[in-house]
Each structure stands twice: as structure tokens, then as C-alpha cells.
Structure 1
Amino acid sequence: MNKKDLVAKIAKDSDVTLRDATKMLDSFCAAVGETTKTGESVALVGFGTFSLTERSERKGRNPQTGEEITIAASKSVTFKAGKALKEAVS
């Protein structure tokens, strides 16, 4: 399922226009992005939790040359599925 399909599903289930469903999904994505950027997590009970993870600087190897390189520290967003979502998928 891509964004277009998801927007269509939201519009159909919520009885709203595609434009309104797109605004809702974009707003949700922006809110999750802004919140996790500050270091807070977004917890949706039963669905899951979006949170910020920090990776420290580490050593790695260039697979083509075998040369050792330094991989810079970075931040990433992780998602941990909630119990209800895990049960729905299983």
C-alpha cells in the first residue's frame, strides 16, 4: 500500500474527501516528525510507538576496497509495534 492507497482508504472509512484525508495524513506525519525531532516519543496505545534513536560514531569498512572508515553519528526514528498490532498481524 502506498500513500495514495492509504489516503483513499482513510477517505472511504471516514467518509471525507480525498483532499481532507490527504491533509489528515500529512498532518499526522508532520506531527510525528516534529515530536520525535525534539526527542519525545509518540505512543499510540495498541498501535505502536515512534521514538528517536541516536547512533554513536563507529568504525566500518568500505566493502569495495576493504579500507577502514569512520561512520558519523546519526539520529534515526524507530517504530515499535504495540500489542494489538502484533496480534492483528500474527
Structure 2
Amino acid sequence: MNKQELLDAVAAKTGTTKAETTETLDALIGTIASAVTQGDAVQLIGFGSFSTGARAARIGPNPATGAEIQIPAAKTVKFTGGTAFKNAANGA
């Protein structure tokens, strides 16, 4: 399912227009992204948690030559599925 299909499904289920649904979904995604980039975790009970993590600097191989290269440290985005979401995905 892509974003447009998600918008269509939510609009049909809630009885709102696609424009209103698009505005709401964009606001939700923007708010989650803003909170996570500021270092806050966002927990949606029954769905999951969004947070940031850190990946340490390390040495790895250059895929083209095999030579060792320095890979810099980086921030990562993490999503951990909630229990209800995991159960639904596993058919329980």
C-alpha cells in the first residue's frame, strides 16, 4: 500500500474528503518526524514507538575495491512495533 492508497482507505473509512485526510496525515507524519528529530520518542499505544538511535563510527570494506574505509558515526531512526501490532501481523 502506498500513501495514496492509504489516504483513499482512511478517507473512505472516516467519511472525510481526500483533501482533509491528506492534510491530517501530512500533519501527523510531520509532527512525528519533528519530535523524533528533536530526540523525543513518540509512542502510539497499540501500534509502536518511533525514536532515534546512534550508530558508532566503524571501519568497513569499500564494495568496489575491498580496501578498508572509515564509515562515520550516524543517527538512525528506529521503529519498534507494539504488542497489538505484532500480534495482528502474526495473525494472533
Q: Shorter-chain-normalised TM-score: which range?
A: over 0.9
Q: After TM superposition, what 4+ stretches of structure 1 lie above 6 angstroms from structure 2?
A: none
* 2:18 is aligned with 1:14: no
Provide structure 1 residue ranges, at least 5 long, that are not aligned to the other structure: none
* Deviation for aligned residue 1:7: 0.5
Provide structure 2 residue ranges, at least 5 long, that are not aligned to the other structure: none
Aligned to 2:71: 71
Per-residue CA deviation, residues 56-82 of structure 1 (Å, 9 max, x unaligned), is: 111111122111111111111110000
SS at structure 2 position matched to 1:32: helix
Matches within 5 A, 1:42-57: 42-57=42-57
> What's the TM-score, normalizing by structure 1?
0.96
RMSD: 0.7
* 2:72 is aligned with 1:88: no
Percent identity reads 39
